[in-house]
Amino acid sequence: MSEVNEYYKDMVAVVTGGASGIGLALAETMLSYGAKRVILADVNDANLARETARLNTTHPGQALGIRCDVTKEEDVKEMIRQAAEFGGGRVDLLINNAGAGLSGQFAEQTNGNWEKAFALNFYGALYGIRAVLPVMRAQGGGHIVDIISGIAFFPMPYQTMYSATKAALNGLTLALRYELWDENIRLTSATPGTTATAIWDGGEAKAPPGAQSPEQSARTILEGVAKNERLVLGDEVDASSAKYCFNPEAAKQIDDYMLDVARKRRSGVWAL
């Protein structure tokens, strides 16, 4: 058995946004690695029912779907309560994956738009952390993973809400990692990399050629989590972005690149 499989063996894991895309791939991959129980939390009732039933066909009794709106703290608390009950009193791993890619012109975005963006992409994870900490403390440890995005350290024009919310979540995760370290509660930030999921649907951008599958992204994330990596980078683009974006020596190059992207997007061409 590999070290990665050994890490997830008999684990009770919760994945928010778990009924589709990367969240579903994370849940299914953990079951294949030997997880004991996996809880899918999602707001999409149809996806939740279908995918939970499918997972239980191949892994009988090991998957539970719970409807949860992560923007509502009471929903998140109740979801964690049910998850711990299903897991025999345990939640070994919480993956805060629920979120949305957001774009638009800053001048047209209201305070209400910003509040909704932070409610989903930041506070949803914050509520999850608060709710699961008492469970993890009682059992002597655990692991919390917050799915951010490469945009957290490569903020893009016309994606101010997405950039800001994911940067805030990354900051929270990495700072809290050291507050909880001595309680044997690990925290990891993880980017999925450029992945072909529904996050691209209905927007101005389309998944670029060569985008990886959700399963590829899930394997990369889970391998890094098993190693207790501080920041898991989902692909080479994210790794390069993390290395260069805030490097003073690359400032001119970054300015030129971002200005070109901004001008193209302003003209209606959704450049990456």
DSSP character string of 114-171: HHHHHIIIIIHHHHHHHHHHHHHHHHT-EEEEEE--GGGSS--TT-HHHHHHHHHHHH
> Pick from 17, 69, 1, 27: which is nearest to 222 by CA?
27
Distances (CA, A) of 210 to 27, 66, 196: 24, 33, 9
Query: Coil, strand or helix: which one is 76?
Result: helix
Q: For residues 151 and 193, give the distance between their C-alpha atoms in angstroms, rounded to a whole number.
A: 10
Catalytic positions are 162
